[in-house]
Amino acid sequence: GENVEQHPSTLSVQEGDSAVIKCTYSDSASNYFPWYKQELGKRPQLIIDIRSNVGEKKDQRIAVTLNKTAKHFSLHITETQPEDSAVYFCAASPPGQNFVFGPGTRLSVLP
């Protein structure tokens, strides 16, 4: 089955700097890759997703890149702000199957 790894497990950046979180997946058939943000005490919320027919997707300060050959995808956050502090989860979904989540990355944006 699918296996998703995520690095780093914790990340601290200065406000205004960029943050990058990387995930790798094992099942080359996976074709949908969402990213969820979970603030302390709150539910995971979808922030961006990408499908396998696209290499990059942007939404304001957030972007996701996908390398199907290497089977990895990354979340990029530019101009980080304190409210970006949260746990971020990546996931991979083979066709017709449910998400497999990565273990999460705790991002801290320092003022």
Partner 1 sequence: ETGVTQTPRHLVMGMTNKKSLKCEQHLGHNAMYWYKQSAKKPLELMFVYNFKEQTENNSVPSRFSPECPNSSHLFLHLHTLQPEDSALYLCASSQDAVRWGPQTIFGSGTQLSVL
Binding site for partner 1 (CB under 8 A): 31-32, 34, 36, 42-46, 49, 51, 87, 89, 91, 93, 95-96, 98-101, 103-104
Give min distance, CB of 56 to partner 1, in A.
Answer: 17
> Which lies closer to partner 1 via its Cβ, residue 16 or residue 95?
95
**Under 8 Å between Cβ of 51 and 41:** no
> Which lies closer to partner 1 via its Cβ, residue 27 or residue 49?
49
Give min distance, CB of 89 to partner 1, in A.
Answer: 6
**Under 8 Å between Cβ of 8 and 108:** no
Give min distance, CB of 110 to partner 1, in A.
Answer: 23
Give min distance, CB of 16 to partner 1, in A.
Answer: 28
> Which lies closer to partner 1 via its Cβ, residue 29 or residue 110?
29
Residue 69, phi-psi category: left (phi > 0), alpha (psi -120 to 50), beta (remainder): alpha
Residue 6, phi-psi category: left (phi > 0), alpha (psi -120 to 50), beta (remainder): beta
The residue written with tokens 């979904």 in the block is 93
Q: Alpha-carbon distance 32 to 66, whole Å?
A: 10
